[in-house]
Amino acid sequence: MKRIAIICIAAWAGMAGAGGLESLEVFVKTVKTGRADFTQVVTSPVKEGQAPRAKTSSGTFEFSRPNRFKFIYNKPFEQSIVADGQTLWLFDADLNQVTARKQASTLGSTPAALIAAAPDLRALQADFTLADAPDKDGLQWVAATPKSKDGQLQTVRVGFRVRDPATNQAAGLAALEILDSFGQRSLLTFNRFEINPALPGNSFQFKAPPGADIIRQ
């Protein structure tokens, strides 16, 4: 498969001077739903004598904590990743193929758990070692290292926009940087991030398109 609101101001008041770890804790605790556009740039490891190769895709992202989210890729290829609370659905439109996996055994040490699936920071700390990372590009960053050494994920960094005291605008998710064990780096940047929007009850229902080949793992 191809590589794929404003809330209570008091809760956010301390974030202007907070580090990335505190920003993550407040985000997980107070942002129960979210919606954004995203752009993803995947960069492969540089090979000797070759220029760096990067692939760019874009789409939309929604989540409802805990354990429900969807990434809809629109360009350059149509793909969907939908978690409905029980099953993680992966759909490739070009192949008209759906892969279904049980969420319980899939999401623990994944980037999705960091930003959308986990109910609280304690749940994240069961699967990740979390630490503040230096501020960069005007964002507060937290670094997450999976405790399991069996997966393909090496490290994840999550970036948050700092709350602007002048406007009282709440901080929001800005970026997700993923480094896998093969040295491939994926950077997702989120735009027009909405905090706690009202999402329809059927937002995370998935129905396989007619004629799609369904693979259950």
Q: What is the pTM of this model?
A: 0.81
**Integer Rg of the chain from CA:** 17
pLDDT digit of tens for each residue in the chain (217 aa)?
Answer: 444 432 222 233 333 345 888 889 888 888 999 999 999 999 988 777 777 788 999 999 999 998 899 999 998 989 999 999 999 999 999 999 999 999 887 776 788 888 888 888 888 898 899 999 999 988 999 999 998 877 788 899 999 987 655 544 455 899 999 998 888 999 999 999 999 999 998 999 999 988 899 999 8
Quote the DSSP letter at residue 183: S
d(CA 148, CA 57): 29
How high is the pLDDT of residue 107? Answer: 73
Peptide bond between residue 119 and the one before it cis (omega within 30 degrees of 0): no
d(CA 217, CA 73): 22
- CA 106, 109, 114: angle at the middle one, nearest 5? 110
Q: Which of 15, 34, 13 is nearest to 24 (CA)?
A: 15
Residue 203 near residue 65, CB atoms below 8 Å: no
d(CA 95, CA 57): 18
Parallel, antiparallel or unpaired: strands 97-102 and 213-216 = parallel
Q: How deeply is 208 buried, as exposed, middle or buried, from its count of CB atoms within 10 A (0-12, 13-18, 19+)?
A: middle
How high is the pLDDT of residue 95? Answer: 93
How high is the pLDDT of residue 166? Answer: 55
How high is the pLDDT of residue 47? Answer: 77
Rounded alpha-carbon distances, angstroms, from residue 108 to 47, 66, 81, 83, 90: 32, 12, 16, 13, 17
Residue pointed to by tokens 């259950």: 216
Q: Which of 136, 141, 81, 131 is nearest to 106 (CA)?
A: 81
Task: Name every residue whose Cβ is closer than 8 Å to that of residue 116 and which is 6 or more positions away in sequence.
Answer: 34, 63, 65, 68, 69, 83
